[in-house]
Structure 1
Amino acid sequence: MSTETLTLNIPTSLAQELSMASQAFLINILERGLHDFKIERALEQYNRGGISFGGAARQANLPQSVLAQQAYARGLEPPFSPKTVAEELGDMSC
């Protein structure tokens, strides 16, 4: 994996807390934070109606089933219109 150097200005209290952390630990924190940020951003756009759920999953780089779990964990539930309910239940008049 190629690498680049990144310089950040962070609050002193945070710098003191992270001063003893290993590079691998800091990389792990950044990767996790970026992963969570992508999920949050995708779900926010979906919740506002800006993108479809499939689009949100692609944006977050996750399968829809995993994004659905993430959405549920954050208290988001899919919108249900009468049309959606009818489509999900199918024609039950048989």
Structure 2
Amino acid sequence: MTDCSNLCQGKQIRKASCVEMNSKVVVLDSYCRSSAKPFDDYRECNVDCRLGWEIFKSECSVNCGDGNRTIKIECVQRYERNDQQSKIVDKHHCPHRMRQ
């Protein structure tokens, strides 16, 4: 099986390879009968989470008047089960999502 294609909602692929029986070395497909080659097999993986943008705001630096507040927008991996904590992941995992 390949590694999961995404942190969330990914796929794994199992591809048949032609293997020399004695050495267990992968060889060219032309050495095996093509009619006997199994189809590729796909399986969903990391299905219990979703990726999305989340806004994090710091407290204001003062109670009254001009203060500072930091706002960060992060890509977050959220789990559907409550027993797993969401975590910040690299931003390249969320390009398909619009930053708000």
TM range (shorter): under 0.3
TM (norm. structure 2) is 0.22
Q: Greater relative contact order: 1 or 2 (C-alpha under 8 angstroms, separation 6 or more)?
A: 2
Greater fraction helix: 1
